[in-house]
Amino acid sequence: MIVLGVESSCDETGLALYDTGRGLLSHALHSQVAMHEEYGGVVPELASRDHIRRALPLLEQVLAKADLPASCIDAIAYTQGPGLAGALLVGSSLACSLALALDKPVLGVHHLEGHLLSPLLASEPPEFPFIALLVSGGHTQLMRVDGVGRYTLLGETLDDAAGEAFDKSAKLLGLGYPGGPAISRLAEFGDPLAYTLPRPMLHSKDFNFSFSGLKTAVLTVVKNHDEKVIANICEQDKANIARGFVDAIVEVLTAKCVSALRHTGLKRLVVAGGVGANAQLRASLNAAAAKKKFKVYYPELEFCTDNGAMIAFAGAMRLQRDPGAATRNYSFDVRPRWPLDELEAA
C-alpha cells in the first residue's frame, strides 16, 4: 500500500510517499524560515499563502523521485491538526481534492502522532512499549506509548514549551529567528560556571514541566547588564548566558525522562520533535542512557522538524491496522486544537 502524506501545520510544507512493503519512497520539504525571519516569528497568513504556492510543485517532486504516477497512490494522509487553522486548511484541501480526483480514500492524521512515530522510520526502530519525550516549539510532553494510538500522557508543560523557551530566550539575546538552533550553537562557546539559572520543577516529583520562569530568568540577567540591554552585552557574555540557559533546560528534560523510565520500568526512550535535534540534549540523554542502562532513539535529523514522511508513515500504520479508518467522504475539517489523548487506538 502506497500512502501519500501531506504536512502543512505551521511553517513547513512537506509531502512524502510511503510504501508499507518497501518503506519511504520519497519525500520533499520546503521551509518558510527565510520568509518569517524578518518578522521574528511565524506570520500565519503568510504561512498559509506559501503552502498554497509550494504544495503542488512538491507533489510533482515526490512523484518524480519515486518514479510513480499519481494513480499508484492507494491512500492520502494529511495533517488534520493541531496547528495553524489556515495552514491546515491548505493541506487538507489539497489532500481531499486530490483523493477525489483519483477516487482514493483519505485520512486525517494527528500531527503529534506523526512526531511520536517518526523514530520508527529509522534503520533500527524501537519496539513498543516505550517512553516518548515530545519536544517542539508548541509541545513538551512525556508519553507512554504502547502501540499505534495507545498513548498515555504522563506529564506536560504547564506554560511555555521547551521550543518556545529556546526561541524567546534567543530573541532576548538578539539572536533572531529561529532562535533554538542559534542559542544552542552560541552555548557551545559559553562558560558553564558563569550563570546558574533555575531548573523549574526539577524536584516536583511528577512529570510536568514549566519553562516560562527560566525564560524570565534570562530576561533578568540581560536587563541587569545595562539600561540599553542587549546592545551592551559582549559576545562572550551572551555565550555564557546561552550556556546557562541550555544547561538548565537540558538538565530538566533529562531528569524527567529518567524519572519516567524508572516509574514505568521501561528501558526504551524515544525523542521526537524539533528540539530533539538539539546536540546538547542528545549528549545529555546519551550519557544518562549509558549510566542508567536504557536505550534512547531519535528520528533522523531530517525528520525532527515537521515533514510529510512522518504523516505518510503514521497514516500507513493506522491503515494497516484498520483499513476502514480512511474515508471517501471528501468534505473536510481541521482541528487547530486537538489533544493527543483524544485519539482512538487503531
Q: Within its chain, how far is the Cα of 23 from the centroid? A: 21
> What are residue 103's phi and psi, to 5 degrees?
55, 50
Known binding-site residue numbers for Fe cation? 111, 115, 306
Find, among 199, 208, 200, the residue nearest to 153 by Cα: 208
CA distances from 36 to 41, 107, 165, 307, 346 (A): 6, 30, 18, 18, 37
Half-sphere exposure of residue 93: CA atoms within 13 angstroms, side-chain side: 11
Give the Cβ contact number of residue 40 at 10 Å: 13
Cβ distance 308 to 297 under 8 Å?
A: no
10 backbone φψ class: left, alpha, beta (φ>0; ψ -120 to 50) = alpha
Which burial class, exposed, middle or buried, applies to 266 when counting CB atoms under 10 A from its CB (0-12, 13-18, 19+)? middle
Known binding-site residue numbers? 111, 115, 134-138, 167, 180, 278, 306
Known binding-site residue numbers for substrate? 134-138, 167, 180, 278
Q: Measured between alpha carbons, how far is 178 from 77 in angstroms, rounded to an integer?
A: 28
